[in-house]
Every structure is written in C-alpha cells, then in structure tokens.
Structure 1
Amino acid sequence: MIHTKNPYNNEPIASYAPHTDAQIEACIEKAHTTFSQWRGYGMEERLVPMGALAKLLLERSRRYASLMSQEMGKPIQQAVAEVEKCVWLCDFYHENAEDFLADELIETEAGESFISYDPLGVVLGVMPWNYPFWQVLRFAVPTLLAGNTVLLKHASNVTGSALALEELFKEAGFPEAAFTTVLANHGQVAHIIAHAHVRAVSVTGSGTAGSHIAKLAGQFVKPSVMELGGNNACIVWEDADLDAHMDTMVNARMQNTGQSCIAAKRFIVTEPIYDDFVARFKEKLKNLKRGDPASEATDIGVMAREDLARELQQQVARSVEKGAVVTHGNTVEKAYYEPTLLENVRPGMPAFDEELFGPVAAVIKAKDRAESLELAANSKFGLGTMLFTRDVEAARWAIDQIPDGAFFVNDMVKSDPRLPFGGTKMSGYGRELSREGIHEFVNKKTVYLKP
C-alpha cells in the first residue's frame, strides 16, 4: 500500500492500492486509444477543455493548496501561489499554442515546403513532490495541446495530488485517458518506458533518477526531457543594492522551505560587501516565521519527509568536517530544519559541490568579480545563475561566462511560461515552457511539395 502522511504532525492522510501490472497495461492501452482520437482534434477543440481547466484551478485554488500543504508541508500562501501560477500557464498556452504549432513555411525550389508539428503519442511524465501541481502541469499542458496523451507517475508522498490532477482533467472535459495517473513503482516505470505505445518521457527530479530513466529512454530510442537538480549560484558584487534585493535573495534560498531545484544554493559574495551581506542575511533568517504550513503566517514549514531532513543535516556535517562554519541555525526536529547559514564554504565540500535540498544557504567569499564568476561556473550542475549588481553592462559581459540554462540579473531564477526553462550538465537537457517547450514532444516533419 501507498501511505501518505502530513510531515508537520505525522498524522496519516490516506492509503492507496498501487496499480498492478495488468492495470498499468490497461492504462497505457487506453491512453493510446485516446491518442488516436485526440490527435485528430483541431486546436480550437483542444483549447475548450484547457480553458475549463484554468477556470477550475482558479475556483479550487484553496482546496488544492491545502492538499499540497498536507502532503508535503508547503506553506499555504506559497501553495496558493503555485496553483495560481498554473492558471497563468494554462492561459499562456491557451493564447499561444495555435501559433506555436502552426506550419512553418520554408522557401525552397519546391512549390511548397514547410515544417509541420505532429504529436508523438503517449508521453510519460515522472514528477517530483516539491511542486506537486506546477511541475506536472508545466509538462502536461503543452504536451496535451500538441496532441499527445499523458501518463503521470508522481512521487508517492503526493499521491492525493496526483489523483486530484487526474480528476481535474476529466472534469475539465478532456477525453477519458487523455491524462492518466498511474500508481507505479520503479520497476513498473521501466516497463512503461519499454512499452511500444509510450513514445517519450519527461522527468523532473534528482540527477540519480534522471540518469537512470534517461538510460532506459535511450535504450528504447525514445526522446526525453530531463529537468534535474541544481546548486544555483547567487553572485553578489560589491555594488549590489542590498536594500532593494536582500528580501529577494533570501526568498531565492528559502522559498518552498529550500526544496527547489532552482533555489539559490551558493551565495558567492565579493569581499568588500561580504560582512554586510552576511549580517543582513542572518537577520532576515531570524525573522522568518516557523509554524504550521496551514497557517497564513508561516514562512518556513517543514521538509517533505524526516529522512530528507536527516540527509541534509549529514551534508552540513560533512561540510563542517571539511572546514565550513555554521553561523546560524542547523537545529533539526523531525521534519523541521531551521533556516541555516554556512560560511567558510569552499570547493570540495558538499555545501559547494552537491545540491543541498533544504533551507541551508552556503556563503562563499570571492576576492573580486572575476573569481566570483569562476566559482559560480565551478559546478557539475547548470540550471541557473543570478547576479546582483548595479553595473548592468558588466553583467551583460558575464552572461557567456556562465554555462547555465538561465542567467538572471537583479532577480531570482524562476520559471515563467513565456521563457524556456531547463539546464545543462548534470541539471539535464531539453526545455520546458514557451515555444521551445511545446516543441519537445512533437515530430518536426519536413514537408516538400513539388508541382
């Protein structure tokens, strides 16, 4: 059985029977049958249930937010914001999908030549627990509008959210089995990827999970998108406006209780401003309100599971063994992890080299701007970097010094439906969102018509 519980108080929420191999086979067959019909819908027909989906999300934002808070400990205000962002996503693709998927005319000596964008078939999404609605819809909305059907394998601790999403798509008017949640284990996921009717896979999760699934997708020659972990750098140059941006920088680390792949994990601060930065950051951490995720006043809830808090504490301990210094926080009580500041962090420590998936900020002192960029680029990950400075022209020069999927100046790295989202190196490959995202799971077909 799959058991879910509230990480704040350890109270059980619900239990679910996993799907058998036969049930999963039936889900795949139904999704394939629905694909043969759904692909024939015109864009206007596909947009009708998408509009209804956005409306239902908006009407039920508090209900879905409460479910997320119960299952993985997200502070309720942040959970409501997540659902509202999903509405924005639906509205964006409702407005733009037809243009994104229109035939692209190419001038050749033929009478007519163009690129058409045809759906692939059933697409599997393997999704994480940290943004139970956003991560799923970010993948599923453009995938469905492109004419594919979707199978969702969600993290088991948010099974209630996974099933709520399936019901949401049905109520919005999508054909039955256009979106299906499968309660599968890791071995069954391998079987799903191998299935002839499953034509592609999208993963958001850890590097370990992504590497394993990418290997399976490659074995069966199926396209995949991997949005994996990160240890994003937040570079703070000596001319940064700390009065204007300190709240943003703290939020960049502590949003979702630090459980975000795009969170700022390494704060690389040039020497002249280092002490001032640390003092301000520490004061902000002290003022964050701990409490029940269901409370509107809570800034920092709990981590999604107690074992995740223990793993994070071990990473901090190993960093301290190598010379890092805890200057604030590091108290752990079951799933609660106190917002923590680590100083004297250097390459070779877990706090610098690994992804710390929780409310721990690692601060690194750089002697100058050049070293700050070198330290930021010194990572096996490549999801995003943020730079705070008044010198925007110097920031422009720095763009190509950082080989990441995103570079934000004077703001935190964030996903936006209008912009492509994805990483490099161990942070994965492929892009979600924007025009690029809806083109990931289509056949870009060359059409050449000669009279």
Structure 2
Amino acid sequence: MFIATNPATGEELHRYPLNDNATLSKKIDQAAETFKSWRKTTFEERSALLRKVARFMRDDEERLARLMTDEMGKPIVEARGEVQKAAWCAEHYAEKGAEYLAPVTLPSDATHSYVQHLPLGPVLGILPWNAPFWLAFRFCAPAIMAGNTCLMKHDPHVPACAEAIAEVFERVGAPAGLMQNLRINNEQVETVLKHDAVQAVSLTGSSAAGSAVASLAASQIKPAVLELGGSDPSLVFSDADLDEAAKTLALSRIINAGQSCIAAKRIIVEAPVYESFIEKFYAHLSALKMGDPADETTQVGPIAREDLRDGLHRQVTTTVKQGGRCLLGGEMPEGPGYYYPVTLLVDVTPEMQVSCEETFGPIAVVMKAESVEHSLEIANDTIYGLAASVWTADVALAERMSRDIEAGQVAINGIVKTDPRLPSGGVKRSGYGRELGPHGIMEFVNAQQVWIGPKVGT
C-alpha cells in the first residue's frame, strides 16, 4: 500500500494499493505490444503527441502543482514552476528530437556508410519524490521521442503525482501502454528488470539504490542511466562578486527546502573574503520565510518525511559537536509537520559530518580555503561528483579549473540547474550516463551501423 502523508501537517492524505503480479505483467506486456507500433511512428507524430502533453500540463498547471504541494511539501510557487519546466522538456524534445537522432554519415570503404539511431523497447524509470513531474519528464520525454515506451516506478510517497503524470498521456490520446505508472515496491522492481521485454532502466535516487539497480541491470546485460546523490561544491574566490554569489547561492541552497541533488551543498570560500561572504550570506538566509507550502509567500516548506528531518538534525548536531559553528537555525521546531529551519553552519572542515555526507535539506555549509588550489582540493574531496559552481572575476581561470573539478556539470558565476537543452549527470558515486540535451536522448537507442556496398575501389 502506498500511503501519502502531508508533510506540512503530518496527516495522511490517501492510500493506493500496489499492483499485483498479474496487473504488473499485463502492463509490461502492453508496453511491449505498444512498442511494436510506436517504434514505426514518424518523428512528426511523436512530436505532435509531446506537444499535446505539454499544452495539457500548462492548462492544468494549478491542479498538478497542488499535488506536489500536498504530497511532498513543495512551495506552491515552485510547484507551478516545476509543471512548466516539465512541459518545456516535452516541448524541447518535440522540437529537437529528430535533429538529435538524425543519421550520421561516416566515411569508410563502403559506397555509403552511416549510423542510425533506433529505439530499444520498453524502458523502466525509477524516480524519487523531490521533483515528481520534472524528473518523470526528464526520463520519459526523450525516451518517447526516440520511439521507446515507458514504465514509471515512482516514489511511494507521491502516488497521486504518479497517477496524474500517466493520466496526462491518456487524456491527450496517447496509445495505451506508451507511458504507464507502476505502483510497485522495491522487490517487484527486480521482476520488471528481469522481464525479457524491458530493455533498459533509468534511476534517479540514492547511491545505495543506484548500486542495487545497476547490479541487477548488469546481470541482465541491460543499459542503465544513474543520477545519484551529490555533495556539490561552490567555490567562491576573493575576486568574486560577493553580493551576487551570496544571493544566488542562498537561492540554490533552499530551492525545494534544499531537497535537491544539485543544490549548493559545500560553499568553499577563499580566506580573504571568508567573513565578508558569511555576513552577506547570513543576511539572505535569515530573511527567508518558512511556512505552509500552500501559502503564496512561503519560500521554504517542510521536509518531505519525518525520518529525513531526523537525519538532517543528526547531521547538524553532530557537526556542531565536531567543532562547526551554527549561526542560524539548527533547532528542531515544535508543532505539526516536518519543518526544519534554514540553518547556517560555518568553520566546517572536510572531516565533519555535513561535509562527508549529502545534506538533503535547508542546511548551508561554509568552509574556508587558503587559496584557489586549496579550494579545488576541498571540492574534490568527496565520493560524489554531480555538480559544482565557481565564482570569480577571472572567467578564464574558472574555465581552466573546470577541467580539474570532478563533477558532471560546472556553472561559472551562475546557479547550477538542469536544462532540457544541456546534458546532466555525474561521475564517481553520483552515477553515470546522461539525461537531457542531445546526450540524454542517445542513452536509450541502438546506434546501428549501416554499410552499403559495393566496396569503394572494387
């Protein structure tokens, strides 16, 4: 049984029964059957469907946004933005998918030789709760545009969001079986991945979940894309625009109450501007309004689950015991809901808890670096490698340094974000493969070589 709880109140919202094995088998078979015809559709037909999906979502923005606010506590203003971003993703692949997948001519000894990009079949997407619509479309839009069908295993804490995503496709007349929601537990994931019809898997989640799914996919010789956790560094050098850096990094840290894989997790500030940056950063963080996510003025909503909030508080209290200074927040609030205050920890060193672990909440961590080189050393001192940012007036330096930063994406003098036009993904324990952009749509296709004779010169 999937049980959704309102994190703003702690009260149960609704329950959804799991799919039994017979229902699950029927859905997989339907995805396989639909693939037979969907793979033969033109790019124009696929594009038209994705555009219909995007229009429907934009028209139904308020209802879809409220589902996120209710089930996982996303502030309503952010939730509306997420619906729009998911629609944008569908529109982007509708516009660019054919171009991304166009055949590529390669010279050889053939009269003509080229590579064409063909769909694989049903693809399983395993998704987390923190961005229910965006992450679903990041997975399904390129896969569908490439000619695949999709099976979505969403997080059990956002069951109404998952139902709504699948329903969008039904409402615009998509073929039955093109995009289906699977209400299954983790044990049933193995059944899906081992099914002969299912050809690949995409997972966004924890490193532990990624390791388990990757092992299972490898045992079946099926490709996987993994977007996992991060302890993302932001490097602030002494020549940076501190006002802009402080403002942008405060926003990066508290979007979705800090529950984002690519949020600024470790802010590494060069010693000459360390105290000045903290003063400016504190001013932005302390001005944020925490409260009911349904309130239009709320900037920081609740943590999605009680156990996650408990984990955050453990990280904070342990770090303070280890010598970190808490300048803001850090106290477990009383009252209903799973709220946790915006918290600022400074004088953090690499061995402290909030530096060693991913912090999935509104906890801002500031560390001091003695030099540019020391900043890079601290930035790479992590098992993760998802995203990073560099703040400096010397853009050429930042570009050179990006080659040495162990991360899948680097933003220079700007916020780290995901964009349908650009590839996203990590290295090290943050996963492998890419989503979005031209690289993302290539993950689940057969890059088939075609050689046409006679051989040149014969």
Query: Which runs of at least 4 in structure 1 moved beyond 4 Å after TM superposition?
Result: none
Residue in structure 1 matched with residue 218 of structure 2 by the alignment: 218
CA deviation after TM superposition for structure 1 residue 173, in Å? 2.2
Q: Distance in 1 between matches of 2:219 and 2:353?
A: 32
Amino acid at match of 2:364: A
Selected match of 2:376 from 359, 373, 385: 373
Q: Distance in 2 between matches of 1:420 and 1:173?
A: 30
Give 1:234-273 correspondences, 5 Å limit: 234-273=234-273
CA deviation after TM superposition for structure 1 residue 187, in Å? 0.6
Amino acid at match of 1:277: F
Q: Distance in 1 between matches of 2:410 and 2:231?
A: 14
Selected match of 1:439 from 431, 438, 442: 442
Residue in structure 2 matched with residue 101 of structure 1 by the alignment: 101
Contact 2:2 2:18 in 1 (8 A): yes
Query: Could you report, residue by residue, the CA deviation over 1:301-357 in whole angstroms, capped at 9, with x for unpaired residues?
Result: 101011100011112222223222212101223510100011121112221111010
Give 1:7-22 correspondences, 5 Å limit: 7-22=7-22
With normalisation by structure 1, the TM-score equals 0.98
CA deviation after TM superposition for structure 1 residue 11, in Å? 2.6
CA deviation after TM superposition for structure 1 residue 395, in Å? 1.1
Give 1:159-308 correspondences, 5 Å limit: 159-308=159-308
Give 1:38-437 correspondences, 5 Å limit: 38-333=38-333, 334-437=337-440
CA deviation after TM superposition for structure 1 residue 225, in Å? 0.1
Question: What's the secondary structure of 1:201's corresponding residue?
Answer: strand
Note the residue ranges of structure 2 that are not aligned, 5 or more in a row: none
Contact 2:388 2:416 in 1 (8 A): yes
Q: Distance in 2 between matches of 1:430 and 1:274?
A: 36
With normalisation by structure 2, the TM-score equals 0.97
Question: What's the secondary structure of 1:156's corresponding residue?
Answer: coil
Contact 1:344 1:364 in 2 (8 A): yes
Question: What's the secondary structure of 2:36's corresponding residue?
Answer: helix
Amino acid at match of 1:368: S
Question: What's the secondary structure of 2:79's corresponding residue?
Answer: helix
Query: Could you report, residue by residue, the CA deviation over 1:261-281 in whole angstroms, capped at 9, with x for unpaired residues?
Result: 000000000111111111111
Amino acid at match of 1:154: H
Contact 1:118 1:442 in 2 (8 A): yes
Contact 2:46 2:94 in 1 (8 A): no
CA root-mean-square deviation: 1.0
Q: Distance in 2 between matches of 1:50 and 1:374?
A: 44
Note the residue ranges of structure 1 that are not aligned, 5 or more in a row: none
Contact 2:331 2:341 in 1 (8 A): yes
Q: Distance in 2 between matches of 1:366 and 1:348?
A: 14
Question: What's the secondary structure of 1:337's corresponding residue?
Answer: coil
Query: Could you report, residue by residue, the CA deviation over 1:224-254 in whole angstroms, capped at 9, with x for unpaired residues?
Result: 0000000100111111112233221101111
Contact 2:43 2:145 in 1 (8 A): yes
Query: Could you report, residue by residue, the CA deviation over 1:46-68 in whole angstroms, capped at 9, with x for unpaired residues?
Result: 11211100101111111111110
Question: What's the secondary structure of 2:348's corresponding residue?
Answer: coil
Comparing 116-125 with 6-15, which one deviates more in the overlay?
6-15
The alignment-based identity, stated in percent, is 42
Count the aligned residue pairs: 451
Selected match of 2:451 from 441, 448, 451: 448
Contact 1:128 1:155 in 2 (8 A): yes
Contact 1:50 1:172 in 2 (8 A): no
